[in-house]
Structures are given as C-alpha cells and as structure tokens.
Amino acid sequence: MHGQVVEKSWLTPTLVRVVLGGGDLERFSMVDAADAYVNLAFPPPGAPYDAEFEPAQVREHHDRQWWPARRRYTVRAWDPSTAQLTIDFVVHGDVGVAGAWAVHAEPGDVLVLEGPSGGYRPDPEADWLLMVGDESAVPAIAAALETVPAGMLAVVRVLCDGPEHDLDLACSGNLALSWVHRLGDGHDEELLPAAVRDLSFPRGRVDAFIHGEATEIREIRKHLLVERGLARADMSCSPYWRRDMTDEAWREVKRDFVRAMDEDVAPVG
C-alpha cells in the first residue's frame, strides 16, 4: 500500500507531521487501538524498482542490498472520509532513515507502508491512567488521550529536549501532564524513570502505557511491577527504539532484551 505526502508541518523543532493521501490508501483498514502502527518501507538510494512497490515482491525478486529499510510508526490519525493518514516523526539529527526522510519529505513524495496493527486502548474501567514516554510515544499518547472518558484522571509524563518541545495535548479527562526536559549532562536517561518514581500514586487500579527508549522503558517497567505492584495485565509496555542503535541493530537484540526485562521481575529461586 502507498500514499503521497499531501501536507507537512513542524509541531516542534524535532517533531514533524506528515499527512499522506491518495495512492491506494482507501484500502487502509484502521484497527481499534490508540497505539495503532504501520510498517514503513524506505527503498535504498538507486533502488531498481518503482517508488510504488510491494515490499514482499521486492524481497522475492531483488538482492538483499535492494530491500527497503523497515521502520514502525504510530498512526497519529486516520480520517476514513478523506482516506488520509497522519504520522508524526521525531527528527533526531541527520542520522537514520525515517527521521531523515521526514525532514526532506515534500508534497507528492510516495511512502510505502504495511499494516496497521496495535492493541492498546485506555481502560475505561481503571481508576486512573498513567502514560509515560519520550517524543516517539507522543503520537500514541496523544491519540490515547483523545479517547479518555470525561472526568477520568490521566497522569502523563513525557521526556523532551526543552520547553519549546512541549505540546498542548487534548483530553476530555482530567489531564495531569508534565514535560520532563533533558539537561544534556550525561544523565538524561535517568530523568523519565525518576519522574515516575517521584509520582505520588492516586488510590485504585492504574492502567499504564509505557513506550519509548528501551533502557528507560526497562527501568520504569521494573519500578512499576516490583515497587508499585502493578499487574502485568494493567500495563502496555514497548521499548520502541534503543539509544546508539539503528532499528536494524535493535531488532537483532530486541528479543534477548525483552527476555532480560522479564527476568528483572522474575521471582528469585
């Protein structure tokens, strides 16, 4: 499936919104999830096939060097009336494939995608909601907040580079949102776990959404399960990306990392 860039705008100095339309997006079948994501496929420069390709066909008919790079991105919004799909990309320097693509994207550019999948929805039966992540989780958190019932408490902590990166996030519930700003002092990965540790938890059952940088997510998950006694079923937890690793390198080690995350909270003996 593919769409074309119809609109691009900067939400913050490092978050760029791309709206896709046209192509064959009318085939897109949205799932009932706030964290719905698609697999984007970026062909390498000079790829010997059309911009509108089917990833499976490319893998079948071309050498591995021509296979597209795969990156997962959240569906920030899907409008079935216009068949337009909105994705918010974190731009993190000149490195990488997807962030760099978004910086240079222009109306008319083609983007190939597969999906969507996803499974998280804020639990309206919980007593309160906790949502934690960095900029890469902002699209999912923003989409989730739009579904929070009126009056329900949603406590949100988001890590970003500074006040000019803070966004107004809309929510019908009772939103307690704080942005946690990196200091660039070599200890930034400790800030988000510390922000969660510092929270005074309201009474009752919490439904938690914890997505973002792998080592930070691991630390927060351990804290919530071991020290706060959350049930695993009450937590959606996903290490989206890993500092100093491309997505290819991260996918190589992700299975072991997730196993180690489980061992963090396994009963001893």
Ligand X SMILES: Cc1cc2nc3c(=O)[nH]c(=O)nc-3n(C[C@H](O)[C@H](O)[C@H](O)COP(=O)(O)OP(=O)(O)OC[C@H]3O[C@@H](n4cnc5c(N)ncnc54)[C@H](O)[C@@H]3O)c2cc1C
Q: Which residues bind ligand X (CB under 6 A)?
A: 37, 71-74, 88-90, 92, 95-99, 135-136, 139, 240-247
Minimal distance, residue 112 CB to ligand X, in Å = 15
Cβ proximity to ligand X: between 113 and 152 the closer is: 113
CB of 268 to ligand X, least distance (A): 31
3-state secondary structure labels for all residues of the chain: CEEEEEEEEEEECCEEEEEEECCCHHHCCCCCCCCCEEEEEECCCCCCCCCCCCHHHHHHHCCHHHCCEEEEEECCEEECCCCEEEEEEECCCCCCCHHHHHHHCCCCCEEEEEEEECCCCCCCCCCEEEEEEEHHHHHHHHHHHCCCCCCCEEEEEEEECCHHHCCCCCCCCEEEEEEEECCCCCCHHHHHHHHHHCCCCCCCCEEEEEEEEHHHHHHHHHHHHHHCCCCHHHEEEEEEECCCCCHHHHHHHHHHHHHHHHHHCCCCC
With CB atoms as reference, the residue minimizing the distance to ligand X is 96
Which of 28, 55, 38, 24 is CA-nearest to residue 116?
38
In this complex, which beta carbon is closest to ligand X, that of residue 92 or of residue 228?
A: 92
Among candidate residues 151, 152, 156, 143, the one with its CA nearest the CA of residue 123: 152
- Which is closer to ligand X, CB of 2 or CB of 238? 238
Cβ 249 to ligand X, closest distance in Å? 8
What is the sign, positive or negative, of the torsion defined by CA atoms of 52, 55, 61, 67? positive
Which CB, 68 or 139, lies closer to ligand X?
139
In the complex, minimum distance from the CB of residue 227 to ligand X, in angstroms, rounded to a whole number: 26
68 vs 99 by CB, closer to ligand X:
99
Q: How far is the CB of 205 from ligand X (least distance, A)?
A: 25
Comparison of 157 and 242: residue with beta carbon closer to ligand X:
242
**Cα angle: 18, vertex 116, 29; to 5 degrees:** 95
The phi, psi pair for 36, rounded to 5°, reads: -55, 140
Q: Which is nearer to ligand X, 12 or 74 (CB)?
A: 74
CB nearer to ligand X: pick between 95 and 233: 95
In whole angstroms, the minimum distance from the beta carbon of 200 to ligand X comes to 29
CB of 201 to ligand X, least distance (A): 27
